[in-house]
Amino acid sequence: MAHITSSSSSSSFLVSRRHLLGACAGIASLTVAGTGAASPTQNKIRLAGWSKPISEITNILAEPDKGFFQAHGIALTYLPGAGGGDAIRNLLSGQADVAFTDPGSFFMALDKGEKLVAIYDIYPQNVFNVVSLQSAGIRKPADLKGKKIGVYSLASGTRQNLLVMLHQAGLKESDVTIVVTGLLNFAPLMQGQVDATAATDTGLAVGLRKGMGDIHVIQVRDHLNISSDMFVVREEWRHQKRDVLKAFLKGYRDSAAWMIAHPDEAATLAGKRAIDGTQRDVNLEIIKLRNAASLPTAGGVARLGNFDLAALQKGADTYRALGMIQRAIQVTDVVDTSLLPGA
């Protein structure tokens, strides 16, 4: 069994993420109907995702079985995508009403002048990491100076979050050598082609199952716990459809709370609804990781969807300091918490 250490003793779980990202294009939208017949009075919501219908979004895929959104008068359609930027593009093109996207893609769209607003923090916990072999002696971000580090691609969240972590340690991209290794980037690590690799929670979970030996994991969240994903809408839609969006968020909140309370049931349903749900034990592992990432930095299940505005502002400032965006973003101007359930 692999021996794993973390740069923070408070990290009790390994974070999982987007090893299927590269295979996400070219799939039609999926109508996720509730348990009963659709009512003429139901409001339709087209949700643009960053991925195919995979196990980590089982709470959304379970709609035909559980009817979380239908209970609040929402008829849900899920539009698969190939990354957070794809979700934003589907939103801006009018093909979707809500985008399931990451802060980096959100910030970059705002930087281009798009009128968008974030309304719900899906995964307040950062789920990215940097993995090295124990023998490399890399224990903290400063140890990465002068090292070769693998990333999925130069446009991926692995690179973005690596740069964020380096920035927190006073390092620049030029202080390391970034190597594009593709989605299955643990092979180059094991073969000595890179000293460390920037990874995601699901990618790491799959890598561990294949056997990686003794490794050390540095969690990006221990250095900047910026959210991994959020729901984003066009500003005009936020004003025009407030009640519909409130109902949508209640449905999502209920689905997330269900998956947190019933991971075993969710793992079974993933086998029925998710395209990667063939192994129930893997489903359960990924679902538990997603549940942990869903919890707010404060407030627990009772505050699902809550934003850590200070962390998000620090993230926006870091992206600007890194040159990834040019404009200063005041997050309080582009986050609306009044639509959250219970607000």
Residue 13 has pLDDT above 80, yes or no: no
**Rounded to the nearest 5°, which phi and psi values hold at 32?**
-105, 85
- Of residues 9, 104, 18, 109, the one with CA closest to residue 55: 18
Q: Which residues contact 342 (CB under 8 A, 6 or more apart)?
A: none
What integer pLDDT is reported at residue 251 of this predicted model?
98
For residue 240, the model assigns a pLDDT of 94
Supply the pLDDT for residue 183: 66
- Work out the average pLDDT over 226-255: 96
List the single range of 6-15, 20-29, 307-316 with lowest mean pLDDT. 6-15
- Please give the pLDDT value at position 33: 67
**Nearest alpha carbon to residue 76 among 119, 118, 117, 29:** 29
Q: Tell me, yes or no, if the two domains 4-14+128-222 and 33-125+227-333 fold the same way.
A: yes
Task: Name the class of domain 4-14+128-222.
Answer: alpha beta
Domain 33-125+227-333: CATH superfamily is Periplasmic binding protein-like II (3.40.190.10)
Average of per-residue pLDDT across 109-122: 97
Comparing C-alpha atoms, which of 218, 55, 195 is closest to residue 128? 218
- Quickly state the pLDDT bin for 299 (edges 50, 70, 90): low
The domain ranges of the chain are 4-14+128-222, 33-125+227-333
Question: In this prediction, what percent of the chain has a pLDDT beyond 90?
Answer: 64
Across residues 200-214, what is the average pLDDT? 82
pLDDT of residue 225: 87
Q: How far apart are alpha carbons 331 and 226 in whole angstroms?
A: 12
> How confident is the model over 243-282, as pLDDT tens digits?
999 999 999 999 999 999 999 999 999 999 999 899 999 9
Per-residue pLDDT of 64-115, as tens digits, reads 999 999 999 999 999 998 778 889 999 999 999 999 999 999 999 999 999 9
At residue 5, what are phi and psi to the nearest 5 degrees?
-120, 155
Integer Cα distance of 62 and 271 in angstroms = 11
> For the residues 31-37, what does the mean pLDDT come to?
63
**What count of Cα atoms within 13 Å lies in the side-chain half-sphere of residue 334?**
23
Print burial letters for 175-194: b (CB count within 10 Å at least 16), e (below 16): ebebeebebebbebbbeeeb
Could you tell me the pTM of the whole model? 0.84
178 pLDDT higher than 50: yes
**Which pLDDT score, from 0 to 100, does residue 41 have?**
66
The pLDDT of residue 39: 54
Residue 142 reports pLDDT greater than 90: yes
Q: Lowest-pLDDT range, 85-99, 161-175, 292-306?
A: 292-306
